[in-house]
Chains A and B, each alone.
Chain A
Amino acid sequence: MEQLTFDYPAQRAVTTRAHVGVVGSGDLEVLLQPASDMQARVVVHTSVDGYGHIWKSVLDRFFTRYDGAALIEINDFGATPGVVALRLAEAVEAAQDGERGAQS
């Protein structure tokens, strides 16, 4: 088991939290919540050691399009990069749905 931490710059505050996924075989759980300062941080707990460079690639790509100041915690049980990207997108969508719900 390995823990990895990544920091990214952020442009806007995040106001809601979202939880998606499950720590099942080939899957992962994403907890997205507002960060305490104007910066994004990703904390990964993964069952598979030695893939830090792959995580960095997946997250670098994700943060080319995402600019929220979110604390994202990931509990991973051997998800492939594609599944990780889909779950991150799902978490962002769920958080945005929450923000829209709060405004209406």
Chain B
Amino acid sequence: MSSTNQVGPGALLRESFIELSARERAAAVLDAGTLRELLGPFDRIESPWLPLQGIVCQADDGAVIARGTIDGQPAVVAAIESAFQGGSIGEVSGSKIAAALELALADCERGKIVRPVILFETGGVRLQEANLGLAVIAEIQSAIVALRAHVPVVGVIAGMVGCFGGMSLAAALCSMLVMTKQGRLGMNGPEVIEQEAGIEELDSSDRRQVWQLIGGEQRTQTGFADALVDDAVDDVRTAVRAAFAQGMPHSHRSANVDATLARLAQIDPASVTPESMRAVFAASPTNLHGETA
């Protein structure tokens, strides 16, 4: 072994969360062996709209809904498969997520708490399903707001797609949002900004600049997300458990309207930089690394 090697063997052997499929991610977040999938691929609830446009369906429409337990407590996980149509939200995939959250809400209202986790990996609405996708994203958002009165709603943006469009608003509504450095969170994706506003506004091929603006590190440093974790299955698992163990936040991010508006007023859109955003929106990320950190 070389004496210059500063990386311990454990660091190299850590299992990546990003590289997992949606189904594997859901299993990784739940207690081992407790995953029970609802409306799985063999139920064949596919998009009725994609074949009409010559696009091959996926049997689960890119959304995995799984019941199980987290730290022994009932939980439901909605995981979005980024490899299918960019994780886009269609009528079916979005309805599955909204229905899962609404069923959890019904349980919570009856006094049976179900821990909801959303694994975001999505470019937002599926353009081929337009208004139907947008409508169901609104349903997801409503369900998150209703649920978070009973139980923390935990979101994870691991990457590499990130979380954009209407689903970025859904992520912003979560009680606790966990990101990796590789994760990105924004309303419009960099390619869309470049296309609409010009390359002078943003060069979407400039990865360094893109991540400085909307990457997980910046988002947690400016309070738009709560916790930054490594791309490792153990760290994501631990963070999700720690988020539920912490319980309800004092207030939800999206409820702090006046404070956010006051900070926004200090930002000059013509000269804003990642550094000036950090100066105005300075936040301390929540420690969700468990007891060992």
User: Could you tell me which A residues sit within 8 Å of B by CB distance?
Assistant: 1, 17, 19, 22-25, 27, 29, 31, 33, 45-47, 73, 75-77
Contact = CB atoms under 8 A, between A and B. Distances in A.
A22 B84 contact: yes
B59 A19 contact: yes
Contacts, number: 44
Given A17-B42, A29-B41, A31-B41, A22 B54 contact: no
27 contacts: A17-B42, A19-B40, A19-B59, A22-B58, A22-B81, A22-B83, A22-B84, A23-B56, A23-B57, A23-B83, A23-B84, A23-B85, A24-B83, A24-B84, A25-B83, A27-B83, A29-B58, A29-B59, A31-B41, A31-B42, A31-B59, A33-B42, A46-B56, A47-B55, A75-B56, A75-B57, A77-B56
B72 interface: no
B57 A45 contact: yes
A27 to B, nearest CB: 7
A1 B83 contact: no
Contacts of B81: 22
A75 B58 contact: yes
Contact of A1 (B41, B55, B84): B55
Interface in B217-256: none
Interface of B: 21, 40-42, 51, 54-59, 81, 83-85
A1 B56 contact: yes
A16 B43 CA distance: 15
Nearest to A75: B56
Contact of B51 (A1, A25, A77): A1
Contacts of B54: 1, 47
Nearest to A25: B83
Contacts of A77: 56
A73 B55 CA distance: 16
Contacts of B84: 22-24
Contacts of A27: 83
Contact of A19 (B42, B55, B56): B42
Nearest to B84: A23
Contacts of A47: 54-56
Contacts of B41: 19, 29, 31
Query: Of residues A24, A27, A45, A76, which shows the largest number of chain B Cβ atoms within 10 Å of its Cβ?
Result: A24
Contacts of B56: 1, 23, 45-47, 75-77
A23 B40 contact: no
Kindly list the 10 A-B residue pairs having the minimum CB-CB distance in the complex, ordered from nearest. A24-B83, A23-B58, A22-B83, A1-B54, A19-B41, A47-B56, A23-B84, A45-B56, A75-B56, A23-B56
A70 to B, nearest CB: 13
B42 to A, nearest CB: 6
